[in-house]
Structure 1
Amino acid sequence: MSINRHQIRKIAFQTLFALSSNPEAQPADVYRQLLDEVSKDQPTPAYLEQLVKGVLSQQAKIDALIEQHLNKNWTLARLNKTDLLILRLAVYEIKFEQDLANKIAIDEALQLAKEFSDEKSRRFINGVLNNLI
């Protein structure tokens, strides 16, 4: 059974969340464990590795872009971890994935916010991302 792009983004988000709590963990070990929960013997999708490595390697640039598009009384430090990681994933896809429409990246970010956050966060994430594009 192959997994779809939304499931890949979900696992990428969960991997980034786990790595933010345990920086010594190896990304491949984390997403292997998460993939096994979805489907045993599922090969690691290239897009999953690309997302996780991309967000981690471009994090300084991504964070600078997010910070530029926050309201003036907001900072990255003030964001909850879930919202920040969803924003990082979406900004990575918007700015570094050339073959993906911005609307898809935003829709996927809002879907992740629906699953892992709340309605207030969804509106906040939508506002930041729409300011960015």
Structure 2
Amino acid sequence: MELTRHQIREIAFQTLFALNANQQTNKEDFFEALTNGKYGDQYPKYLNELVTGVMANKEALDNLIEKYLKSGWSINRIAKTDLVILEIALYEMLHVDDLAAKISINEAIELAKKYSDDRSRKFVNGILSHALEELVK
């Protein structure tokens, strides 16, 4: 059974969150644990693309997030769960050609509902909506 993009985003979120906490481990170890070893070394291409892409573009993504924060806020003040969710969504919005930005935003809100609280969901939506306005210009 193939994973849906929604499931892949969730595994990417869990992997990136875990890598934030434990940088000594590699992403493949997390992929294997999170997919119960079901794919061997053949992880879904999109999963690898998301995790590798977010990691490679983290600084640029975080700078973009910081641009949309309210005055007095810094990137360090954002809950780690919310930060990873925002990084994934912005990476998709900027680098995945066959995906509508609104899908990335909706998926980010779904992740925030599952892994954060109601305030986080609104925060994630606000940041991504501002980013979308600018990207559409």
In structure 1, C-alpha distance between the alignment counterparts of 2:106 and 2:63, rounded to whole Å = 22
CA deviation profile, 1:76-113 (whole Å, cap 9, x unmatched): 00001000000000010011112210000000000000
In structure 2, distance between residues paired with 1:76 and 1:121 = 14
Find the counterpart in structure 1 of residue 110 from structure 2.
111
Which residues of structure 1 form unaligned runs of 5+? none
Q: Which amino acid aligns with 1:86?
A: I
Aligned-residue identity in percent: 47
Q: Which residue of 2 aligns with 1:81?
A: 80
Alpha carbon RMSD of aligned pairs, Å? 1.2
What's the TM-score once normalised by structure 1's chain length?
0.94
Q: Distance in 1 between matches of 2:87 and 2:24?
A: 20
1:72 and 1:92 mapped to 2: Cα distance? 24
TM (norm. structure 2) is: 0.92
1:15 match = 15
> Runs of 4 or more off by more than 4 Å in structure 1?
none
Count of aligned residue pairs for this structure pair: 131
Match runs of 1:1-133 below 5 Å: 1-36=1-36, 40-41=38-39, 43-133=42-132
Preserved CA contact (<8 Å) 2:32 2:39 = no
1:41 Cα deviation (Å)?
A: 4.1
Query: Structure 1 residues 92, 41: closer, same or farther in 2, change over 3 A?
Result: closer
